[in-house]
């Protein structure tokens, strides 16, 4: 289903479908169906009853409950598990009154709600993985293409010694890859069944609780945890936190791109076309729209992460108010992360890099960004403090007069005694002052 208009900048169509009301309803019904089948296999409920329950647990072809009615009943019950079980029981009763006795047998409402959410996360994972894979592939190609493209380094938003755009792209890639690895691990831990019954002991099933739980986990293709986790939300907390870190890494890339797109910088731009990046009033503009979506997510997600972590302090075996707050928090975090990943994959795939403008911006500094290089060359003869002071004065004069730094240095006897003409002539060539930039780029790409 398409995203709601109010959520249109905070999700993707695929993730909006995953977290839709219909999808969540079916996920909770899938829990109930798997429960009945596992219990039938253990001889706890009749096989015939399990068959009727499984057949009835199909939201798309049933009238189990209108979404609006389900919302109202959930608000009164404090959990969706109660109205879901009630509605499913009524539907089963209409087919087989005896089978209706076995709906939701031995489970608790939080089992339904938690497993329903986990099933949605299971569907969301490959969607995020696909966009992140596309993004990583695009960034790798971008870094390779521009391994020799020099540009200004920028520290505290001020011009600094040169770097390569290939290194910058590799830096984005490194952070995103590390964050994706953490996210994958968090998904691996979080995608587990919730099944504990009233107090987390499965006492209603006697000695067959573990067998039923293992069968349910296999049926739903989820992991089977060491114990129910009703009040232990660490796995979900790790997933939410990993999503927050990844979104931050995506936001860092988006911030850099949007700054490079500023008119007075003009070194890169997102791909245009298909009404992407235009202005309603200024025809000349190409706005960093995809980057703005990632930045919006990076602004939004930290608060959601904090909200989830605050709700982890839950009481005894089942919490009051903590897990009830999680559904929208987790859904918004995952969708925001996915929206950022999809947006930046698009950016990396179509980013237009203006290498000539990058060179022009280096030259516009009149060589002052190489003051560090000159100071290092002078230190051995003049000492650190004297060399630093001399270069401060020389760069100030270069800037004030709009003259190349090397030209100013040629007029200073203390400099010409140490540095020959060839050295001064090559002082402002960025290719000569990249250090181990290429080695660092390659290290970032090794994974």
Please say if 318 is a catalytic residue: yes
* Residue among 318, 336, 398, 441 flagged as catalytic: 318
Is 113 in contact with 80 (CB distance < 8 Å)?
A: yes
Q: How many other CB atoms are there within 10 angstroms of residue 253's CB atom?
A: 27
Please say if 279 is a catalytic residue: yes
> Which DSSP string do the residues of 73-138 spell out, in sequence order?
HHHHHTSSHHHHHHHHHHHHHTT-HHHHTTTTTT--HHHHHHHHHHHHHHHHHHHHHHHHHHHHHH
Q: In which residue are the tokens 């970032």 written? A: 444
Is 338 in contact with 131 (CB distance < 8 Å)?
A: yes
Is 55 in contact with 96 (CB distance < 8 Å)?
A: no
> Which DSSP string do the residues of 39-86 spell out, in sequence order?
HHHTTSS-HHHHHHHHHH--GGG--S--HHHHHHHHHHHTSSHHHHHH
| CA 92-98-102 angle, 5° bins | 70
* Residue among 279, 381, 396, 421 flagged as catalytic: 279
Bridging pattern class, strands 150-155 and 158-164: antiparallel
- Catalytic residues, which ones? 279, 318
């Amino acid at each position: 289903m398409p995203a709601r208009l109010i959520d249109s900048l905070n999700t993707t169509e695929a993730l909006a479908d995953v977290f839709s009301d219909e999808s969540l309803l079916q996920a909770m019904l899938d829990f109930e169906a798997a429960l009945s089948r596992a219990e039938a296999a253990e001889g706890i409920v009749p096989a015939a009853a399990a068959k009727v329950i499984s057949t009835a647990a199909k939201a798309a072809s049933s009238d189990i409950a209108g979404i609006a009615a389900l919302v109202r009943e959930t608000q009164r019950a404090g959990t969706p598990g109660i109205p879901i079980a009630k509605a499913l029981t009524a539907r089963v009763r209409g087919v087989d009154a005896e089978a209706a006795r076995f709906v939701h047998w031995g489970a608790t409402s939080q089992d339904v709600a938690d497993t329903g959410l986990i099933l949605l996360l299971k569907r969301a994972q490959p969607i995020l993985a696909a966009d992140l894979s596309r993004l990583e592939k695009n960034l790798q190609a971008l870094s390779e293409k521009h391994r020799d493209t020099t540009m200004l380094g920028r520290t505290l938003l001020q011009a600094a010694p040169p770097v390569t755009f290939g290194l910058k792209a590799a830096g984005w890639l490194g952070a995103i890859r590390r964050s994706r690895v953490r996210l994958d691990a968090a998904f691996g831990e979080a995608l587990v069944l919730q099944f504990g019954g009233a107090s987390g002991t499965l006492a209603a099933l006697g000695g067959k609780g573990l067998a039923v739980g293992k069968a349910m986990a296999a049926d739903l293709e989820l992991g089977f945890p060491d114990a129910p986790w009703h009040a232990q939300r660490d796995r979900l907390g790790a997933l939410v936190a990993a999503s927050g870190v990844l979104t931050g890494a995506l936001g860092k890339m988006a911030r850099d791109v949007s700054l490079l797109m500023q008119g007075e910088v003009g070194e890169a731009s997102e791909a245009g076309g298909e009404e992407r990046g235009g202005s309603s009033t200024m025809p000349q503009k190409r706005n960093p729209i995809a980057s703005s979506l990632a930045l919006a997510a990076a602004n939004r997600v930290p608060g959601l992460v904090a909200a989830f972590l605050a709700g982890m302090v839950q009481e005894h075996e089942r919490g009051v108010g903590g897990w009830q707050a999680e559904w929208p928090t987790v859904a918004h975090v995952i969708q925001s992360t996915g929206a950022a990943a999809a947006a930046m994959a698009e950016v990396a795939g179509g980013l237009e890099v203006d290498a000539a403008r990058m060179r022009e911006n280096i030259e516009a500094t009149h060589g002052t960004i190489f003051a560090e290089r000159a100071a290092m060359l002078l230190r051995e003869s003049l000492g650190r403090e004297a060399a630093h002071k001399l270069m401060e004065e020389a760069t100030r004069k270069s800037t004030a007069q709009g003259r190349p730094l090397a030209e100013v240095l040629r007029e200073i006897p203390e400099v010409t005694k140490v540095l020959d003409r060839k050295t001064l002539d090559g002082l402002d060539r960025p290719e000569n002052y990249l250090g181990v930039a290429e080695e660092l780029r390659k290290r970032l790409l090794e994974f």
